[in-house]
Amino acid sequence: MTEEWAETAAQDALKEGVPHPVFPKGLPVLLIRRGAEIYALENRCAHMGCPLAAGKLEGHVLQCPCHDWRFDIRDGKFLDAPELAIKTYAAEIKDGKVFVRLS
């Protein structure tokens, strides 16, 4: 299977610790910069589908604004039941642009 990467945002557009929603190929993806790392995850809570972009971020934990579900942005796991998770995507920076692997 061929990997499919999509350009999503300029690296400079990502502010430290501020969720940045993007829609590569129409998919709701959330980019979060923490230090030198860029995390890309589904911008939809596993509970009821609420957008996570408006959630509260503390360290590597993103809290859903609707019902307070908390997810680790590094692996997408729900902290209270790690068997539940939101999708995460590989992300990398090339020439000042953030790319997300969709496949």
Specify the CATH number for the domain of residue 32.
2.102.10.10
Question: What pTM was estimated for this model as a whole?
Answer: 0.92
Q: Given this model, what pLDDT does residue 49 score?
A: 87
SS3 content of the chain, % helix, strand, coil (to 5): 10, 45, 50
Q: How confident is the model at residue 33 (pLDDT cuts 50, 70, 90)?
A: very high
Residue percentage of the chain with pLDDT more than 90 = 91
Q: Tens of pLDDT along 78-89?
A: 999 989 999 999
Note down the domain range covering 84. Answer: 5-101
Q: What is the mean pLDDT of the chain?
A: 95
The candidate with the shortest Cα–Cα distance to 69, out of 52, 87, 53, 83, is 52
> What total of structural domains would you count in the chain?
1
Secondary element (H or E) of residue 57: strand 56-58
Mean pLDDT of 50-71: 96
